[in-house]
Structures are given as structure tokens and as C-alpha cells.
Amino acid sequence: MKKLLSGIKKWFNRLYRALIVLVSGWNLRKLAKAFVSIAVVFLLAGSYLWYTRLYLNNDRRFWMAIENSMATPSVTRTLNSGGTGNKVVQTQQFFFSPQMATRSHVSYEQKNAVVNTTVETEGLSFVGADYSRYTSFNTNQKKEDGSSPNLDSVLNKWESSEYTDEELDNSRLNYISEHVSLVVFGNFDANTRHEFIRELKDNNAYTITNVTESTEDGRKLLSYSVKVNLKAYTTLLQKAFTAAGFGEFPPLNPDNYKEGVTINSGIRVDKNSGEVVGVSFGSRTEVYNGYGIQINVQKPDAEFSSGQLQEFVQQEIGTAL
């Protein structure tokens, strides 16, 4: 028994000495850093889960997206109209402060049992000047003399529309009208954005009635059903136009709307990017993407003055289409 106890004692002594040697070999400073790093990882993970699961609810995501739309140098909008046999796709790239310009592309397609026609145009708009050109034209239709209409000689050649002082205000209004939507887009400073958001909230410009979540092309989308108070919203929109340097837009007068009058709309938000990707109301559906793309849009050299290009095109294809 004494030999057994003595053996156990020796075994424990060896184990103790081995543990002492092992611990004495540790770098306690590195060990402390490792524990701190692990703690930071857990803290960040916990903060992210709290932010995305608890704090960043659907209501906050909506207002963050509305504010993000006010903080972009540019955005691209696509409109689809028509249906089977007659389709128009209009893509417009809006550039905000410091540059104010719009670049557009329009595709028109007419197809049925006897007609097969496609036309593509491009346009550049500035406050006080517009430029347009045809980039593609194909048709199976014939002119009265039996020949095929042809625009090859004028394709990709710009026509300019310069305006006199008397016409300048109408040009300005036409330019602003393309920016009218149920979401404010622009490149405003932080103080202005916060003021706009506060006013939208205080005046109940948006009332969210329902939210659904879906996945399209790998993107998680939030679709908001929203009642837009027209008087409150147009009041803010006028302020936004003025702050952007456009000036007021009289056709959209807030006084024309009674208190409490609303319009039903749908506003779609990309859950990951926090961007507005769609606005719909009535029969109109707007798709948005291309946030923040910065391109220096310059006025092109025009080969046709106002009306000349369109007159040529009308003479060439007028009897065929």
C-alpha cells in the first residue's frame, strides 16, 4: 500500500511540474491580446445582430432609403410603357450637384404580323439647352415609292435646341418636370437632408400601410405600400427643387391640393444597399439603379440646329410608318 501511495504521489508531482513548465512557457501578453481580439469579434457580431435585427426595423430602413436618395451625385431611372407589339423603354440618368444634366436613351419597338420597326434615340438635357440624336433605325415598311426608309446618313449626329431668353423659362420647367416623382432625389448636404426628413415626418408626408419582403435576382427587397400626402409632399418637393438650384416648379403648386388628400403608391427598397429601387403610382412604374455614378457630361458638337434633324426624319419615314 505504501508503495502504491508513493507511486501516485510521484505521478501527481510529475504532472504538476509538467503544468508549471507549460504555463511558464506561455506569453501572457499575447494571450491577453488574443482574448481581447476574441472579445472584440463577439462585440462586433453582437452589435451587428442588434443593429440589423432589432434597431434597423422596416420603418427605419424606409427612412434611411429616402434619405439616401437625397445624397447621391446621380441615379438612373427606367420607365417601361406599352405592351405586346408596341413597347417603349426610356432610361434616364440624372446628374445632380455639382453638375446638373440628364442623359437619356429611348428604345421604341413596334412588332405585329406586318410591321417590324425599332428606333433608338439618345438625348442630353441641360438647363437652357437640349441635344438629341438617332442611334439606330430598322423597319420592314416601305415608302410610297416602294423604297425603304433609311436614316444612315444622320445616325449619331446631334441636333441642338438652344433657347432664347423668352423660351428659357419653359426649358427650365421641362427640365424640372423630368425630376418629379414621389421620392426626392438629389445631392444635398447633411443638414438639408435632415431638415427635409424631419419635415416629411412632421407633416406625415408618408404613411406606411404594409410591408412585404421578397427576393428577386438574389436581392432582398422590401416593398412598402405608402399613402403619400400630396400637399405635404409637394411642399417639400418645391423646397428641394429650390435647394438644388432648379428654382420653383409652378405646375406643382401645393395650394392645389386639399389637406389630407393622398395617393396610393409603392416604394421598393433594396434591403442590403438601403437604396430606393422602385416607385409606382397609378399605371406608372419607375425602376432606379446606378446610384453615385459620376460622369462629366459635356455639350456635344451639333451638326443640326433646332428642328432640322426631325424635319429630315419626318420626310424620310413619314409615309412609311
The enclosing domain of 100 has a CATH number of: 2.50.20
Phi, psi of 9 (to 5 degrees): -60, -45
The residues that bridge with 77 in the sheet, in sequence order, are 92, 288
Examine residue 309 and state whether it is found in any structural domain, yes or no.
Answer: no
Indicate whether 18 belongs to any domain.
no
297 falls within a domain: no
Q: With CA atoms as reference, report the closest residue to 226 among 244, 240, 212.
A: 212
- Domain with 93, as residue range(s), is 74-289
Confirm if 300 and 131 have CB atoms less than 8 A apart. yes
Which amino acid is it at 108?
Answer: Y
pLDDT per residue rounded down to tens, the chain (321 residues) = 555 456 555 655 665 565 455 445 555 555 555 555 655 555 555 555 445 555 589 999 999 999 999 999 999 999 998 877 889 999 999 999 888 999 999 999 999 888 899 999 999 999 889 999 999 999 998 888 888 888 999 999 999 987 888 888 989 999 999 999 999 999 999 999 999 999 999 999 999 999 999 999 999 999 999 999 999 999 999 999 999 999 999 999 999 999 999 999 999 999 999 999 999 999 999 999 999 998 889 999 999 988 899 999 888 787 555
* Separation of alpha carbons 251 and 254, rounded Å: 9
pLDDT at 41: 56
The verdict on residue 20 lying in a domain is no
Evaluate whether residue 196 is within a structural domain.
Answer: yes
Q: How far apart are CA 23 and CA 258, in angstroms?
A: 79
At residue 62, the pLDDT reads 98
The total number of structural domains in the chain stands at 1
* pLDDT (0 to 100) of residue 83: 76
pLDDT of res. 114: 87
Q: What was the pLDDT predicted at 45?
A: 53
Whether 319 is in a domain gets the answer no
Is 56 contained in some domain? Answer: no
Asked if residue 39 is part of any domain, the answer here is no
Quote the CA–CA distance of 34 and 223 in Å, as a whole number.
Answer: 44
Place of cell 469579434: 41
Q: Residue 186 in contact with residue 244, Cβ under 8 Å?
A: yes
For residues 150 and 316, give the distance between their C-alpha atoms in angstroms, rounded to a whole number: 7
Task: Say how far apart CA 214 and CA 101 lie, in whole Å.
Answer: 34
